[in-house]
Structure 1
Amino acid sequence: MTAGSSVPERIRAIADAARTHAPLAVETDGDEPHLTAAVRWLLRSNDTVDGRGSAATYNLLLGWEPPYPETTGYIIPSLYAYADGVGSGSDLGKTAHERASVMADWLETVQLPCGAFPGGTGEDGVLSYHHGDPREYRGGPAGFWEYMHGADTAGTIVQTLTDELDAGIVQSYRDVDLSGCETWGDIRRELYTGSVEQLAEAVERVRDEANEPTVIEDLGPMYHPPDARELLAYGRTRFR
């Protein structure tokens, strides 16, 4: 089937694929045969990606997709539960337990240093907001230190996460004018409400093969939540 195939041709191709690959309905007694078939299907999704995680989906036309961290995370406890329950002592139960451990090991290899996991099949990385200009303010809380320092401007980014906090590949950047903000709350509202459309912009840029994302070379200092002394200083600013 080619990209220019008509709709009826596409439908016939899908129907043919379904007849070839979809399992036939079988009358069974009880739930165990269904559970066994489901476990075998999950193991098959692991086989198709060379024993890493579990395939993201099965497409009737394109076949199995690459391993997917999110669903792999759901499948691991399911396989352990089967191995410890209905499948206890059986060969399939032992295999389910072994595969769950293999999948868990694979998840550790793709987990990011920040603790997050790649989105989708991990090919495009993880997008994350940072409500601050990383050339001046990394860490947080959002807008707090800009308020304390009397900053007139700020920035918001959507970044593809890397190993270092708030030092990712910038997919979207926005300058923020703080001249009309009188409180920390004003700054936060300006940062948050003005950044809503940036995620869609970042996704478009990630999908654009011609896009050249920005890597910030001169990173600013790392800020942290205020301690008691700094909170006291903040409190004083509220009653000037």
Structure 2
Amino acid sequence: MATTPAERQADVVQQVFSTEALPPFTPEHLALVRGLRVWWLPVESGAPGVDPRQPLRGADSSASSVQLAQQLLATDDAALAMRRLVEVARWVYPFVERARLAPGRYAVPAELQAQLPGVQQGQFQLRAEHLTLLRGAIWQELTGPSLDAVLAESTEAEPLWPMPFIDGKRPYGDRSYYTIDMAELLGSPFALDARGHAIIVPARDAALKRLHEETLTALQLLFLYGEMDGMAPLR
């Protein structure tokens, strides 16, 4: 009996995630990273990640993720495109950690401007704080039971991809009030009262919350413009 696309996808995911070493990062992977679609995890405070249902952006809303990957890679090889997309799922967090992108103003593609916070006149002011938060956040990478759960939910009609995301419940540490963790991560913690509790200053708290929301835009720009050193050449 022939396997379904969902079964083939599950096989590829298991193969790619079963090895400890990351696959070499090549221009093919970078082409797919450039096309990644960010989303906001709707859990408690929320946090950014890569959309597991539609990990790639594309003008053709009827195209599957594999078809979009084929378009980005300019290949007719669906199996290759599927494998590279799964490999990119493993590379998302390392890319966030390692990619070079200087703070500054960056153009945001027109089709993304309405859905990304902090965009003004088609541009976004990327700050060093955005990058610090993305790199110091609590990322959830899918392994073991969580990977099995994604594969169990994935269907041919609605495939799910094992894309990582920042923990929406505890994005930056163990505290339920996440701006306290943010302030510490950014090197400027809130002052403490006599009982050792953080003194929340409303104006600064609001500014930190906006900064957290803007990590969605910062992540999209890091995918669009970030550069990797030591990239393996295409074979």
* Fold shared by both chains (TM-score > 0.5): no
Q: TM-score range by the shorter chain?
A: under 0.3
Higher-Rg structure is 1
Q: TM-score, normalised by structure 1?
A: 0.25
Q: Which structure features the higher share of strand residues? A: 1
